[in-house]
Amino acid sequence: MILTPIALECCLCGKSCPSRRLSLLSLPLVIRWFDRPRAILRLEAVLQPDTGMGPNGEFWPAPAILLNVGDGDAFDVRVFGSECDPGIKTAGGHWGYRTQVIRGGDTVEVNLGLPHDWRDRDAAIVITWAPRPRRWWRKRITVKISDVGIGVVLPPGTLPLRKIDRSVRTTRALELNSARAYVYSWGKLPEDTPDIDAPDITRTDDQTS
């Protein structure tokens, strides 16, 4: 026998309760709201020999990519620079500060125009987007230039090895026990990780191949 919301009775009064029926009818909508697709944007540097400052300390663009690692789309994406000059590469090959949409799993090219003293300026990128098209409500994240690209700049083989026991089952526990997943999720190495010689994406000295 299948009980419909109308047939359910209140456990206190023994009668059909309108508020109980309403809560049962709204439950699928609440579940659907929390389980809706979401856009998650990340800014990561592109590893290449000449990334960052030039040998003479001139203003130099640092290439990066803006990724949507979520399962939803990000609409009307805009980037703003604090103490730096970022630009999004448009379809026509020009540079702007906004793009119409970044689909889930897609990326767009961003160049970070950095002054030679960006560390002292505490340069950062502000990214805003709309979770739905033609909506006034927008989401916003701020990414410090010093935190950009840690997961990409450390190529495979540079991170220390960590043993994952068979008892580790949950995704969060796996991320806590994996150096690369920890870096990608929290933007830093685990506290018990030994020091490593990691490359710097914004070196000011002469770089050799």
DSSP labels, 144-182 = EGGGTTHHHHS-TTSSPP----TT--SHHHHHHT-HHHH
Q: Round the average pLDDT of the chain to a whole number and report it.
A: 71
Would strands 124-130 and 74-82 be described as parallel, antiparallel, or unpaired?
antiparallel
∠87-153-104 over CA atoms, to 5°? Answer: 55
Domains and CATH numbers, the chain: 41-148 (2.60.40), 154-195 (no CATH)
pLDDT (0 to 100) of residue 196: 47
How far does Cα 124 stand from its chain's mean position? 15
* DSSP letter assigned to residue 13: T
Q: What are the residue ranges in the chain where pLDDT is below 70?
A: 1-36, 44-61, 149-156, 158, 184-189, 192-209
pLDDT (0 to 100) of residue 180: 77
pLDDT (0 to 100) of residue 102: 92
